[in-house]
A and B are shown apart, each in its own frame.
Chain A
Amino acid sequence: MIRAKDINERTPWQDLTPGGEIYEPGTARLFNTGTWRTETPVYHREACKQCMLCVPFCPDSAIPVLEGKRQDFYFMHCKGCGICKEICPFTAITMVSGGEAR
């Protein structure tokens, strides 16, 4: 049984699963969709009050929380939508042009 991690853009058609079936859960985390980003959020730790409002508003789990503290962005799945910046009451998030994380 072929695993998602063993399927890539060089896999011949004979080795792909029928209809593209995926035989395991949670495989989206394997794919770097952060490359889609054309704008990038910047986290200003000094301005952040740890209100946690940005965390549930992020549509793509790009804001990790560790021991009750918001961490810097996890950019592998951040699409740069800017919702976190809009929702932040303390201007602790700004957006910069381009896909590169600062």
Chain B
Amino acid sequence: MSMPLSGNEAIAHAIKQINPDVMGAFPITPSTEITEYVANFVANGEINTEFVPVESEHSSMSVCIAAQAAGARAVSATSSCGLALMYEMLYVAASCRLPITLACVNRALSGPININHDYSDSMGARDTGWIQLYAENNQEAYDNFIMAMPIGESPTVRLPVMTCMDGFITSHSVENIDLLDTETVQQFVGEFTPEHYLLKKENPLAVGPYDISAYYMEHKVQEAEAMKAAKAIILEVSARFEKISGRSYGLFEEYRMEDAELALVLIGSTAGTAKAAIDNLREEGVKAGLVKIRVFRPFPGEELARALSKIKAVAVMDKSEGFSGNGGPLFAETRSALYDLKERPHMINIVYGLGGRDVRIEDVGKLFERLAAIAASGETGPVYTHMGQRSREETK
């Protein structure tokens, strides 16, 4: 069934179809609508989710942690400063190995305060132990949310999953998307049947004990192994999802990469703009391609290295700063992943689109011109640069 829905409506619809046991949420732009829609579904008796209104995101994640530990399926939605206020609890959720599902509608993290899109919120949470899936559009946001629970709840994984989409660009734009019927969704997602949970009366359980240094490291190794194991599970669940939807998902999407010489690596809705630019360039004979990262945690390093091994020049586009002084987070991961290749492409980092700064087809076209010059000259030039800001150099 095809329906015109915004990204937020798509996530709310997925939640309605899944009918999770508990939602703990606090409103924050641009994810507020998800919470409002679900609260309406509950008030109208359309789903029997226990909706817990709280006073902060620290509490909304705490509600999810308690509910999930009790044996329930818990979901939440947030953005930006809301995600930041959850940070402590994000680590607790992951280290307690509780497969909570969180819809993160990406928005620039203050300050200066800004409500528009970049990835500074979820990129800051990249080391919390959560699986992170990113969507290019409304359809992918819906699909990723439905795949999140089977991925996170897999016994070899047991990690929480953050499904991310671009604030306003995706969350508030309406597109026709293909919805699965509710029965199919419920069959796909199945029942949450953890072996151990707090409400299992035959077997009392303690969750989240103090971990002295004689044990902490072992538990962190377990978590790291779970994150590594998640890669195969994501592919398995995605293959199963293709059977019910006809839509194919991998760890990343390769667009016109078969014979590409110049390539971009990026996340999210910018892929749509980049694909249009690449189509134009292809007509001019430029061998341009794109890798759109869907799974950022676990990071598909080996797979990405293979995909980029034959490329002459790569631009990694980061829509969040990172302030490492050495490039954005996607660049750091990508460049590190390619280190083991015998022959590596030239690689630059473009930090762009911060706080909702627009990126146009022409901007991507110019970036490919720069990559072509690097490939022709063999000189990488400046590695870490910003794109789209006003500067004195450009106004001359």
A interface residues with partner B (beta carbon < 8 Å):
9, 11-13, 16, 18-25, 27
30 interchain pairs, CB-CB under 8 A: A9-B214, A9-B215, A11-B218, A12-B218, A13-B222, A16-B215, A16-B219, A18-B97, A18-B222, A18-B226, A19-B97, A19-B219, A19-B222, A19-B223, A20-B208, A20-B219, A21-B96, A21-B97, A21-B196, A21-B205, A21-B206, A22-B206, A22-B209, A23-B196, A23-B204, A23-B205, A24-B203, A24-B204, A25-B204, A25-B206
CB distance from B233 to the nearest CB of A (A): 15
Nearest Cβ in chain A — how far from B326, in angstroms? 32
Contact of A13 among B196, B203, B208, B221 (CB under 8 A): B221
Residues on B with beta carbons closer than 8 Å to the beta carbon of A24: 203-204
Nearest-neighbor residue (CB-CB) of A24 within chain B = B204
Q: How many A-B residue pairs have CB under 8 A?
A: 50
Q: Which of A16, A22, A27 contacts B218 (CB 8 A)?
A: A16
B158 within 8 A of A: yes
Q: How far is the CA of A62 from the CA of B220 in the complex (A)?
A: 34
Q: Are A13 and B218 neighbours in the complex by a CB distance under 8 Å?
A: yes
B219 and A21 contact, CB distance less than 8 A: no
Of the candidates A11, A21, A27, the one having the most CB atoms from chain B within 10 angstroms of its own CB is A21
B205 in contact with A22 (CB, 8 Å): yes
List residues of B whose CB falls within 8 A of some A CB.
95-98, 158, 196, 203-209, 211, 214-215, 217-219, 221-223, 226
Query: How far, in Å, is A1 (CB) from chain B's closest CB?
Result: 8
Would A20 and B204 be within 8 Å (CB), given that A12-B218, A13-B218, A13-B221 are in contact?
no
Q: A20: which B residues are within 8 A, CB to CB?
A: 208-209, 211, 215, 219
Contacts of A16 in B (CB 8 A): 215, 218-219, 222
Q: Which residues of chain B come closer than 8 Å to A11, judged between CB atoms?
A: 218
Give the distance to chain A from B70, nearest Cβ to Cβ, in Å. Answer: 13
What's the least CB distance linking B149 to chain A, in Å?
17
A27 near B97: Cβ-Cβ < 8 Å = no
CB distance from A82 to the nearest CB of B (A): 24
Nearest B residue (CB) for A15: B218
A13 to B207, CA, bound (A): 17
Contact A19–B96 (Cβ < 8 Å) = yes
Q: How many angstroms between the C-alpha atoms of A19 and B222 in the bound complex?
A: 8
What are the nearest 5 A-B pairs in CB distance? A13-B218, A22-B206, A19-B97, A25-B204, A9-B214
Which residue of chain B has the shortest Cβ distance to A14 in the bound complex?
B222
In the bound complex, residues from chain A placing their C-beta under 8 Å from that of B98 are: 19
Q: Tell me which residues across on chain A come within 8 A of B97, comparing CB atoms.
A: 18-19, 21
Q: Once bound together, how far apart are the Cα atoms of A57 and B211, in whole Å? A: 28
> Which chain B positions have C-beta within 8 A of A25?
204, 206
CA distance A25 to B196 in the complex (A): 13
| Separation of A18 and B221 alpha carbons in the complex (Å) | 10
Apart from A18-B226, A21-B207, what 13 extra A-B contacts exist at CB < 8 Å? A9-B215, A13-B218, A13-B221, A16-B215, A16-B222, A18-B222, A19-B207, A19-B219, A20-B208, A20-B209, A21-B97, A23-B205, A27-B206
